[in-house]
Amino acid sequence: MSFRSLESDASPSGADERARISERYDAPMAAVDPALDDLTRLAARVCGRPIAAIMLLEGGWHVYRSAFGMPTPPPCRGGTVCEVTLSGDGVYEVPDAYLDPGYAETGIALGGRIFRSYAGVALADPARGNIGTLFVADAIPRALDRAQHDALEIFGRQAMMRLDLERRVRQMDLVSRDHRRADSALAVERNFVSAVLDTVGALVAVFDTAGRIVRFNRACESISGYASSELVGRCVWERLIPAAGVSEAIRQFESIRAGGFPAAFENLWLTREGIERRIAWSATALLDAQRQVTFIIATGIDVTLEREAEATLTASEARYRMLVEGSLGMVCTHDLEGVILSANRNSAETVGRPLESVVGHSLREFLPDGADAAFEDYLTEVARTGEAQGLMQLRSPSGGVRVIAYRNKLVTADGERPYVLGFGVDVSEKIRAEEELRALVRQSNSILESVGDGIYGLDLEGRVTVINPAAAQMLGYRQDEILGRHMHALIHHTRPDGQPYPWDECPIHSCFTGLRTVRASADVFWRGDGTSFPVEYVASPQIDIDRRPERRGEPPQEKAVGVVVAFTDTTERRALDRMKDEFVSTVSHELRTPLTSLRAALGLIHSGTLISRPEKAKQMLEIAIANTDRLAKLINDIMDLERIRGGKTVLHHKICSVAELLRAAVFERQEDASKAKIRLQVDAGGAQVWADPARIIQAVGILISNAIKFSPEGSRILVRATPVDHRQPPDGADEDQADGPMQADQLQVDQVRADYVQIEVRDSGSGIPADQLEQIFDRFRQVDASDSRSMGGTGLGLAICHGIVLQHGGRIWVRSAPDEGSSFFFTLPTGPSGNLR
């Protein structure tokens, strides 16, 4: 046997290592077992050695459980002698280390000391093998005798039994400590669960398999009004479930117990105060090791308010839906790209598509051509400002365009994508009606503006609501001065005979009450300046159906809402009538005179009394012929004049030399002039005019003829022509001719620029009184009525001249004074482009 290493002196060093070992061997090291100490002492005594100890092998370390004859050594790595003992069974003895080659050099190291003799026995655990040694040692050589050998074996077994007992006790200790720990953990857990259950807001109830309440948390207590103690041990349906719900509650419970879990359901709880609460439950079952239901756990939430709110919300949603659906307006939502998210039926009908072909489609699909840019602008605006309103065009099913007045808002609810809520009204018809109305108003306005008759409208109080320019002008007011005034008081206050005219007696007033049109022809209206003028008027009531709410159900009744009066100033017509009367009587008179002479002359011849007096008969025939000529001239003049005044004469214009025209006219009258011993002088120059030569020769002829008639013998008549500038007033012209041409010789007018030629027939005859100058161009006007006989005139010559000159776009006037001669002037344009006058 070779010496092996001494018991290692490497002892656990450092606090950490010791602590670790101490922790691991806490129980054996800490426990001082007197029984083991007794055994070591007894072993030492019996074996007659000073030292005895029990050492256990723990994880490679030698741990001394008991030591006699030396202080208990600390745990150490162990030495060779112990390992040899442990590896064998029975007693291992070294009587003298010096004699044993294994220990000769070092001796036997044990517990930090060196011995010469050693005897140890392994402690054999039937389950775990050798776990340590019981040994005796001495510093001197010693050997065991037989009895000591046996005794050491017995002590070894005793020590083993003791250690085994100790181990079991320790194990039991551990078990019981584990139990205690588990119990206290369970208690903590229970408290924790209770605290949690009572803290959570949810209702938590636990039921046994018979439906009895086992647990009832604080939330359950506060909602039900019952204390947990009042309900634990009772079935939930005994108190908490209203009678109507009991069978359902039992059925529900049975279903869960039979395996129908987890289950979610709602039921009603009847609180202690008798109020019903709706609880939404979620229940599950707790199973034992055999998977049998032992408890049922239900957690619930009081959803009474939620359900009420939901019900209210549902009802209000339904109401709004009905409102939106039933609305004649268009209601829709669309996203910021213009895609329709929802729409009411009316919206779909407006674009002529079923609802499902509208939702999810872009609004662009419904736009008419050319409306895209406006739509993009709208999208930009609503996204930027949050609101947009205006008119949007949509294609109508019939192919036309519908105009929608919209007011849309951007909705940005939390957590939702922003969208646009739109409200629209189809205003196509309204716009069309408005356009028609505008056109109608424009039309009636232009009628009112252009019509020559005076027209005004009155409200029920007789105040002016509308008046046309002609009416205002005739009445001598501005339109705005009359609007709003009481018209009767303003223009109709006095009768034609000067008597006051009360409003109640006015026929226009009776329009309101009688609801019929009235006409008046012999009335007068009064101007702003106090003068009056004769009028004819027609007043028509504006009738409407009386639609006042209080008359609902009654037959429709008409009522006047205003009166429209149209009137004409009859001054001119009356004057015309007068003139016509005068004309007829004058013509009759003018015709009768020569006719009477003619009749008398022919009567004499016819009677045969002049057969014997041929000279007289011839004279009678000459009278008859002269009167026939006169009649013919008269009739020709009348017809000429009527043709000219009626515009029935067609002028054959051409550029004519004025000199030629004047000379031709003079030539025709030369004979009469010569007879009257009057000299005709022409001063024509080289001017040309745009005229019908025959007509101008006729007019100049009439003027020369008159001049001859009213000039004394030996006098001179000057017929001359001069270019004139139309911009200057004519020399000697009357007031109303003030803008006429002026004589060129006085004005030194540039010949090139002159666009009129003025023709003058000047005599030095009897002249015309100033008060006759204006009327002298009227028909049958003569300064002296006897002229018609003495001068053979008809009083129509100047009227014909006037007509001819006017037809040529010229003017005619006279400058004359009694006994100072007369100058008749008229103008003619020099060309067709001339400024016609």
Piece in contact with ligand ADP (CB under 6 A), picked from 353-361, 392-400, 542-550, 787-795:
787-795
Among 422, 562, 701, 795, binds ligand ADP (CB under 6 A): 795
* Smallest separation, CB 828 to ligand ADP (Å): 19
Task: Name which of 66 and 706 has its Cβ closer to ligand ADP.
Answer: 706
Mark residues 340-359: x for contact with ligand ADP by CB under 6 A, - for none: --------------------
Q: Which residues contact 10 (CB under 8 A, 6 or more apart)?
A: 76, 77
Verify binding: residue 672, ligand ADP, rule CB under 6 A: no
Angle in degrees, CA 29, 34, 38, rounded to 5: 120
Q: Which of 103, 84, 105, 86 lies closest to 95 in space, CA to CA?
A: 103
Residue appearing with tokens 């016509």: 580
Site for ligand ADP in 709-728 (CB under 6 A): 710
Query: How far apart are the two ends of the chain, measured CA to CA in Å?
Result: 170
38/668 with CB nearer ligand ADP: 668
Segment near ligand ADP (CB under 6 A); pick from 149-157, 197-205, 472-480, 778-786: 778-786
Q: 471 or 776, CB closer to ligand ADP?
A: 776
Number of residues in contact with ligand ADP under rule CB under 6 A: 24
- Min separation Cβ 775 and ligand ADP, Å: 9
For residue 232, what is the DSSP state?
A: B
Token pair belonging to 705? 């003829």
Q: Which stretch binds ligand ADP (CB under 6 A): 61-69, 491-499, 602-610, 784-792?
A: 784-792
Q: Which stretch binds ligand ADP (CB under 6 A): 425-433, 564-572, 699-707, 723-731?
A: 699-707
Which residues, listed in sequence order, are joined to residue 519 by a DSSP beta bridge? 538
Collect all residues with Cβ–Cβ distance below 8 Å to 454 and sequence separation of at least 6.
467, 468, 470, 471, 472, 474, 475, 566, 567, 568, 569
Binders in 3-42 for ligand ADP, by CB under 6 A: none
For residue 537, the minimal CB distance to ligand ADP (Å) is 39
Distance CA 402, CA 391 (A): 10
Strands 213-216 and 91-94: unpaired
Cβ 798 to ligand ADP, closest distance in Å? 3
- Are 758 and 724 in contact by the 8 Å Cβ rule? The answer is yes
In whole angstroms, the minimum distance from the beta carbon of 677 to ligand ADP comes to: 16
**Angle at alpha carbon of residue 383, lines to 382 and 385, rounded to 5°:** 65
Q: Contact region for ligand ADP (CB under 6 A) — 172-180, 211-219, 330-338, 777-785? A: 777-785
Decide if 102 contacts 2 (C-beta within 8 A): yes
Instruction: Return the DSSP state at 676.
Output: T
**Could you tell me the smallest distance in angstroms from the CB atom of residue 777 to ligand ADP?**
8
Closest CB 778 distance from ligand ADP, rounded Å:
9
Nearer to ligand ADP, 536 or 787 (CB): 787
| Segment lying near ligand ADP (by CB under 6 A), choices 317-325, 512-520, 599-607, 776-784 | 776-784
Residues numbered 434 to 473 that lie near ligand ADP (CB under 6 A) are none
| 424, 701, 723, 797: residue in contact with ligand ADP (rule CB under 6 A) | 797
Considering only 794, 807, 827, 830, the residue that binds ligand ADP (CB under 6 A) is 794
Window of 75-83, 252-260, 657-665, 703-711 that interacts with ligand ADP by CB under 6 A = 703-711
**Whether the Cβ atoms of residue 597 and residue 580 lie closer than 8 Å to each other:** no
Q: Is 768 in the site for ligand ADP (CB under 6 A)?
A: yes
Question: Which of 798, 804, 805, 812 contacts ligand ADP by CB under 6 A?
Answer: 798
Q: Is residue 293 a contact partner of residue 260, using CB atoms and an 8 Å limit?
A: no
**3-class DSSP assignment, residue 736:** helix
Please tell me whether residue 179 adopts helix, strand or coil conformation. helix
d(CA 345, CA 133): 103
Neighbouring C-alpha atoms within 13 Å toward the C-beta of 393 = 14
Distance in Å, CB of 831 to ligand ADP, minimum: 29
Closest CA to 809 of 745, 761, 751, 756: 756
User: Binding to ligand ADP by residue 823, rule CB under 6 A?
Assistant: no
Among residues 156, 594, 793, 829, which is the contact residue for ligand ADP, using CB under 6 A? Answer: 793
What letters, b where the CB count within 10 A reaches 16 and e where it falls short, cover 633-645? Answer: ebeebbebbeebb
Sheet strands (E) in 149-292: 203-208, 213-216, 263-270, 276-287
- Interacting residue with ligand ADP among 822, 825, 828, 834 (CB under 6 A): 822
Q: By CB under 6 A, is residue 803 in contact with ligand ADP?
A: no
With respect to ligand ADP, which residue has the nearer C-beta, 350 or 788?
788
Residue 688 or 823: which CB sits closer to ligand ADP? 823
Q: Cβ closer to ligand ADP: 44 or 717? A: 717
Counting contacts by CB under 6 A, is residue 773 touching ligand ADP? no
Distance (Å, whole) CA 571 – CA 564? 22
Q: What SS3 class is residue 217?
A: coil
State the virtual CA torsion across 537, 540, 541, 545 in degrees, nearest 10: -170
Indicate the residue among 426 and 763 with the shorter CB distance to ligand ADP. 763
Q: Would strands 812-816 and 822-829 be described as parallel, antiparallel, or unpaired?
A: antiparallel
Q: What is the CA radius of gyration of the chain?
A: 73
Minimum CB separation of residue 779 from ligand ADP in Å reads: 8
Q: Does 783 bind ligand ADP (CB under 6 A)?
A: yes
Q: Does 805 bind ligand ADP (CB under 6 A)?
A: no
Shortest reach from residue 679's CB to ligand ADP, in Å: 15
Within residues 747-766, the interface with ligand ADP by CB under 6 A covers: 763, 765-766
Least spacing, CB of residue 491 vs ligand ADP, in Å: 41
Stretch that binds ligand ADP, among 123-131, 413-421, 674-682, 701-709 (CB under 6 A): 701-709
Contact yes or no for 420/332 (Cβ under 8 A): no
Closest CB to ligand ADP among 424 and 767?
Answer: 767
User: What is the 8-class DSSP label of residue 494?
Assistant: B
353-361, 478-486, 595-603, 795-803 -> range binding ligand ADP (CB under 6 A): 795-803
- Closer CB to ligand ADP, residue 40 or residue 706? 706
In the bound state with ligand ADP, the residue whose beta carbon lies nearer, of 493 and 720, is 720
Closest approach of ligand ADP to the CB of residue 792, in Å: 7
Whether residue 48 contacts residue 123, with contact meaning beta carbons closer than 8 Å, is answered with: no
| Token reading at 323 | 């409102």
Q: How far apart are CA 458 and CA 633, in angstroms?
A: 56
Q: CA-to-CA distance for 35 and 41, rounded, in angstroms?
A: 10
In angstroms, the Cα distances linking 278 to 23, 228, 245, 247, 553 are 60, 19, 12, 17, 53
In the complex, minimum distance from the CB of residue 562 to ligand ADP, in angstroms, rounded to a whole number: 52
Shortest CB 784 distance to ligand ADP, Å: 6
- How big is the CA angle at 115 (ends 113 and 119), to the nearest 5 degrees? 120
How many CB atoms neighbour CB 57 within 10 A?
A: 19
Q: What is the nearest approach in angstroms of ligand ADP to the Cβ of residue 774?
A: 12
DSSP assignment of 523-557, as one string?
Answer: EEEE-TTS-EEEEEEEEEEEEEE---GGGTTSPP-
Give the count of beta carbons closer than 10 Å to the beta carbon of residue 51.
Answer: 23
The minimum distance between CB 506 and ligand ADP, in angstroms, equals 47
Based on the shown chain and the rule CB under 6 A, indicate whether residue 776 belongs to the binding site for ligand ADP. Answer: yes
Smallest separation (angstroms) from ligand ADP to the CB of 589: 14
706 near ligand ADP, rule: CB under 6 A: yes
Residues belonging to the chain? 837
Residue type, 282: S
Residue numbers at the binding site for ligand ADP (CB under 6 A): 702, 706-707, 710, 763, 765-768, 776, 781-784, 787-788, 793-799, 822
